[in-house]
Amino acid sequence: VSNSFAVPFDEDDKDPDVYFLDHDYLESMYAMFKKVNAKEKIVGWYHTGPKLHPNDIKINEIIKSYCPESVLVIIDAKPRDLGLPTDAYIAVEEVHDDGTPTTKTFDHVKSEIGAEEAEEVGVEHLLRDIKDTTVGTLSQHLTTQVAALKSLQSKLQDISRYLTQ
């Protein structure tokens, strides 16, 4: 995925069957996208989850008019754990053994996040600005930072518990 655009969307908190998706905006953005990025292909849609919503199947049916094999990616905007803050899904027909009509549901698909060569070169140039050669790779540095922050949070919670007793 090399590009994306947001589409106005809202759900009614009290009634999960009520939602708003701006079809006109989606149609005009799709038309502009095809003019500007004629070689690129729409592969699906995303939302900031952090989990599947009841209306995702209905929205996926709308998106399928723009890309028949639509992929839904849920991006956790506030991740709590290490790892990719994304999950990818494809819609499938679920056949029931009891003879009831099939229903649509989502199957999880494996995904990964990568970078184009130009992005990798940019990160390498940024890392060259670090004068300390003992720092290691960016991922090692980030992992160390996350571990240190978790340790600090734990110690602050201990102090808070001690002070409130």
As to burial, measured by CB atoms within 10 angstroms (0-12 exposed, 13-18 middle, 19+ buried), residue 44 is: buried
Write the single-letter amino acid at 47: H
**Confidence (pLDDT) at 96:** 85
Token pair of 43 as six digits? 């592969």
Q: What is the CB neighbour count within 10 angstroms for residue 26?
A: 19
**Confidence (pLDDT) at 136:** 60
Q: Chunked in runs of 10, what are the mean pLDDT values of the chain (165 residues)?
A: 81 84 90 88 88 90 91 88 86 90 93 77 66 59 80 88 86
As to burial, measured by CB atoms within 10 angstroms (0-12 exposed, 13-18 middle, 19+ buried), residue 29 is: middle
CB 96 within 8 A of CB 103: yes
Write the single-letter amino acid at 128: R
Q: How far apart are CA 151 and CA 157, in angstroms?
A: 10
Which residues on neighbouring strands pair with residue 20, listed in sequence order?
10
**Confidence (pLDDT) at 127:** 62
Give Cα separations from 111 to 16, 82, 118 (angstroms): 28, 16, 21
**Confidence (pLDDT) at 133:** 52
What would the DSSP string read from start to end of 56-123? HHHHHHHHTTT-TT-EEEEE-SS--SSS-SEEEEEEEEEPPTTSPPPEEEEEEE-------HHHHHHH
Question: Residue 134's Cα: distance from chain center in Å?
Answer: 33
Token pair of 124 as six digits? 């390498």
